[in-house]
Amino acid sequence: MVNWSGYGKAAAWYTCNSNHRYGNEYCTAHTIREPQLDDIIHTELAMLRHEILDSSQKYDEIVKDWNKKKPKYDKMIKDYSQKIEDCGSSTNSARSAATN
């Protein structure tokens, strides 16, 4: 809920509605002025921005590391694929020889 006080200029303050909805057992009646709320929101957004930038730098490092290793992994995959093919073809040759 927003309330306005008229001490020379308009200043908004917000009242928590949980006390009205759920009673004193759930939440006390309290308010916060708009400038305080703005400061809290700006601080939280700045912290969130900082965390996002930190995370993106970490992911950039992971991607750079992966890109360095990718040619090695591609070669390993190719080598193992060839070994599997060779193993399969030798098994098929052995089966053919055994049945003849």
Q: What's the total number of domains in the chain? A: 1
Which pLDDT score is estimated for 27?
A: 84
pTM for the predicted model, two decimal places: 0.50
Measure the CA–CA gap between 99 and 90, rounded to whole angstroms. 14
Phi-psi region of 8 (alpha: psi -120 to 50; beta: other; left: phi over 0): left
Domain that holds residue 51: 2-99
Question: What SS3 state is found at 48?
Answer: helix
Q: Flag whether pLDDT at 64 surpasses 90.
A: yes
pLDDT of residue 98 exceeding 90, the answer is no
3-state secondary structure of 77: helix
Q: What per-residue confidence (pLDDT) applies to 9?
A: 61
CA separation for the pair 100, 98 (Å, rounded) = 6
pLDDT value of position 43: 97
What pLDDT is recorded for position 8?
Answer: 54
2-36 pLDDT, tens digit per residue, is 555 555 566 788 888 888 788 888 888 888 888 89
